[in-house]
Amino acid sequence: MSDSILKSSQFRKEREGSWKELQHLVEVIEKKGIKALSAEELTRLPNLYRFTLSSLSVARGVSLDRNLLEYLELLSTRAYFCIYGVHNTFGGTVFKFLLEELPAAVWDARWRVLLTTLIMLVGALIAYYLTIGNEEWYYTMVGDGMASGRTPASATEDLRKGLYDGGDIDAEDLNYFASGLFSHNSSVGMFSFALGFALGVPTFILIFYNGLILGSFVALYASRGLGVDIAAWLSIHGTTELFAIILCGAAGLGLAKGVISPGRKSRLSNLASEGKKAGRIVIGAVLMLLVAALLESFGREWITDITARFTIGGLMLVLWLGYFGYLGRKRCQRH
C-alpha cells in the first residue's frame, strides 16, 4: 500500500465523523429547509463547515487522493449554499414580495406618490374646465386612438349607450379587450418610470398629460348630463388603473431623486439603489394594471348598475390604500 493511500486513509479516519455530520445536516436542509434543524444543529452547522473547509485545504496541500478531494469540494459547496444561499422557495419569495417588500417600498415613496397624484389631478382639472368651456379643446386633449369614436360630435344617446350596453359582449371579445388595455396601460406606466432618470421632467409631462385626457373625457360626458354615469363607469377600474400609473410615476421620480440628490454616494451608485426600490414599485404597478384590465373588460361591461360600479371602485380603492398604508407603514416601522 502506497504512502499516499495510507495518508488519505488516516486523514479520513480522524475527520470523517465531522464530515458525515455536516453531510447529514446538509441533506436535511436540502430536503426540508433550514428550519428543520434544531437550535443545537444550527449552532454546529457553521463550525462543521469551517472544519470541512480546513480539511479540504489540508488535503489539497498534501496531495491526498482525488476521490477524497472531490468529496470534500462537493460537500463544502453544498454546505456553502445551505448557509449563505437563498432559502426561500419561489412561493415564499412571492409571498415576501407581496406582503413585505412591495408595500414597504410604496410607503417609503408616499410623498412622491402624493406629488404624482397632485400632478395628475391638476391636469385633469385644467382639461375639465377648458373642455366644459369649449368642446374644441377635447380634440386637443384626446387623440383619435384614445377617443374610440367618443367625441363632441357624438349624439348624447350614443355616449350613454356606450356606458351601459356591454352586457352582450362575449367572453372572447372581452379577453381581447383586456389584453389590449393591459398592454396600453403598462406602456404608459413603464414610460413614466423609465424616463425618470431624465431628472423626472418626462415623467411629470406624461402624468400631467394623462390627467388632461381624463379631465377632458369626463367633461365631455358631464356636458351631456352624464357626469355621474361616466364617474361610475370609470370607477370600477379607474381606482386601480390610475393608482398603478401614479405609482409608476412615483417610481420614475425616485430615479430622478437618485440622479439629482446622490448624497454621499456617487450618482451611479445612488441611482442603482433608488432603481432597486423603484423596480419593486413598478412590478407591483404592473400587477395592479392587470387587475384593472380584468375589471375594465369584465366587471365594467357586465355590471351596469351605477351603485354597484361605485361600490366596486370604492372597495378597490380602500383595498389598495389599506394594503399600501397599513402593511407598508408596519413593515417600515420594523426596519
pLDDT one-digit tens code per residue, 41-98 = 888 888 998 888 888 887 777 666 777 778 888 888 888 888 776 556 666 778 888 8
Cell of 217: 373625457
pLDDT in tens, 195-223: 776 777 888 988 998 899 899 989 999 99
pLDDT given at position 33: 77
pLDDT given at position 169: 47
Residue 221's identity, in one-letter code, is Y
pLDDT in tens, 217-244: 899 999 999 999 989 988 988 899 999 9
Cell of 36: 428543520
pLDDT in tens, 87-144: 566 667 788 888 888 999 999 999 999 999 999 999 999 999 999 999 999 988 887 7
Which whole number is the average pLDDT over 15-40?
86
How far is 235 from 93, CA to CA, in rounded Å? 32
Residue 1 — pLDDT band, cuts 50, 70, 90? very low
Residue 203's identity, in one-letter code, is T
Q: Maximum distance among all alpha carbons in the chain?
A: 103
How far is 255 from 273, CA to CA, in rounded Å? 9
Closest CA to 303 of 155, 167, 139: 167
pLDDT given at position 240: 93
- Cα dihedral value 316, 318, 322, 323, nearest 10: 10
pLDDT in tens, 244-268: 999 999 998 888 887 787 767 777 7
Cell of 76: 463544502
Computed over every residue of the chain, the mean pLDDT equals 82
Task: For residue 252, count CB atoms less than 10 angstroms from its CB and return exposed for 0-12, middle for 13-18, buried for 19 or more.
Answer: buried
How far is 333 from 250, CA to CA, in rounded Å? 21
Which whole number is the average pLDDT over 307-314?
93
Cell of 147: 377617443
pLDDT given at position 174: 46
pLDDT given at position 259: 78
Residue 335 — pLDDT band, cuts 50, 70, 90? low
Check residues 175 and 18 and name the one with the higher pLDDT: 18
Domain boundaries along the sequence of the chain: 3-87, 92-334
Residue 321 — pLDDT band, cuts 50, 70, 90? very high
pLDDT given at position 90: 61
Quick one: DSSP state of residue 143?
-
Cell of 279: 423596480
Query: Position of cell 451608485?
Result: 269
Predicted confidence (pLDDT) at residue 182 exceeds the cutoff of 70? no
**Total-model pTM:** 0.71
Check residues 35 and 325 and name the one with the higher pLDDT: 325
Which whole number is the average pLDDT over 145-162?
80
Task: For residue 293, count CB atoms less than 10 angstroms from its CB and return exposed for 0-12, middle for 13-18, buried for 19 or more.
Answer: buried
Residues 6+ apart with CB under 8 A from 100: 327, 331
Phi-psi region of 7 (alpha: psi -120 to 50; beta: other; left: phi over 0): alpha
Query: Position of cell 404597478?
Result: 285
Predicted confidence (pLDDT) at residue 190 exceeds the cutoff of 70? yes
